[in-house]
Structure 1
Amino acid sequence: MQPLKYLACYSSDIVQQVQSLVDAGTLGQVLLRRYPSLHDIRSDKALYDYSQALKQSYLRQSQPVSKVIFDDKISLSHQALGLHSYVARIQGRKLKAKNEIRISSKLKRVPEPLLKMVVVHELAHLREKEHNKAFYQLCTHMLPDYHQLEFDLRLYLTCVNAAQCPYQAMA
């Protein structure tokens, strides 16, 4: 089996613990106990409304977001689950600029806290473009358990990679 690539930045003790769960086939059950249900955000409109509510709560003064959609083209091979882009277009003599957020459609069938973590991450890019200390402080301001959820999302991706994802069978 391929090494636990989503956990490469963690200590060898943590990687070893996760590897033992994968080897025993119980990683999916650990996630299922922690997050027993999936979110019900299935459409781009629902995702936009969800994102706007978060933005309104924490980033009211930031630039507006014109589009938030699930995107089938975002793949895990590019190490991305979401993308924030600042799109500039020329219309006549005017320069129109828009912020767009794209979330991998693979996140349509995950627990809500994991989706929220990715949305918060992409919204934080409205203020902080780089993944620096200020960026992660903003993420934890919006979502206090951001780092735990990021780790749990890495566990979820490891689970999918090991073909042990318990959420695939859920309706």
Structure 2
Amino acid sequence: MTPLKYLSAYPLQLQDQVRRLIADERLGEYLAKRYPERHAVQSDKALYAYVMELKQQYLRNAPGIDKVLYDSKLDVVRKALGLHTAVSRVQGGKLKAKKEIRVAALFRDAAPQFLQMIVVHELAHLREFDHNKAFYQLCEHMLPGYHQLEFDLRVYLTWRELGANQPV
């Protein structure tokens, strides 16, 4: 039985369905059918505007974001797909914190739904720091169907790790 590291927390029945798609070499086809489009958010500037639009729509009162960018080292170095940080600096006698959101560069070429899911996830951390029930309720509020998208993203990462050479 092939271990599916991105799907290990899901029921065995779902894992077996993904294994069957892998065995039949139909996983890429499944993903291409569900997510045929690519988004146009290619630059850090466009990503910042995209994030700020979602923040304004759902989290007006949340702390501001100073920097948003694609990070090419993120998924390799930190084993993360998105990251929110508060960088603290001493300026004179004051301590200033700048909030950043970094999105793994692999999402430049992903489906728009996957980019939106990652951004919603990182924005939710502005209100809820832990992955608790309130966190996932906020994600679901900002992006209905969040849980299905998270599962499909994990399927996409599995497909990508298998070294699939066809576009999705």
TM-score (norm 2): 0.95
Note the 1:1-171 alignment, pairs <5 A.
3-76=3-76, 78-164=78-164, 166-167=166-167
**Percent pairwise identity:** 52
> For 2:22 and 2:33, how far apart are their aligned partners in 1?
16
The separation in 2 between residues aligned to 1:45 and 1:76, in whole angstroms, is 23
- Give unmatched runs, 5+ long, in structure 2: none
Q: Taking structure 1 as reference, are residues 58 and 88 closer, same or farther at Cα in structure 2, changes over 3 Å only? A: same
For the residue of structure 1 that corresponds to 2:153, the secondary structure is helix
- 1:36: how far off? 0.7
Instruction: Please say if residues 124 and 138 of structure 1, whose CA atoms lie closer than 8 Å, have aligned partners that are also in contact.
Output: yes
Asked if the contact 1:82–1:104 (Cα under 8 Å) also holds between the matched residues in 2, the reply is yes
How many residues end up aligned between the 2 structures? 168
Q: Note the C-alpha offset of 1:79.
A: 3.3
Deviations 1:17-57 (A, max 9, x none): 10010111110110111111111111000000000000000
SS of match in other structure, 2:103: strand
CA 1:120–1:100 in structure 2 vs 1: closer, same or farther (change >3 Å)? same
Q: Once the two structures are superposed, what CA deviation does each residue of 1:73-123 show, in whole Å capped at 9, x if it has no partner?
A: 112574310000011111111111111000000111100000100000000
User: Residues of 2 paired with 1:141 and 1:90: CA distance?
Assistant: 36
Corresponding letter in the other structure for 1:84? H
Distance change (3 Å), C-alpha of 1:78 and 1:94: closer
Question: Scaled by the length of structure 1, what TM-score is found?
Answer: 0.94
Aligned-residue offset at 1:164: 2.3
Tell me the C-alpha RMSD between the 2 structures.
1.5
What is the CA–CA distance in structure 1 between the aligned matches of 2:44 and 2:97, rounded to whole Å?
21
What is the SS of the residue equivalent to 1:56? helix
Shift of 1:135: 0.5
Q: After the TM superposition, which segments of 4 or more aligned residues of structure 1 sit over 4 Å from their partners?
A: none
CA distance in 1, matches of 2:12, 2:76: 23
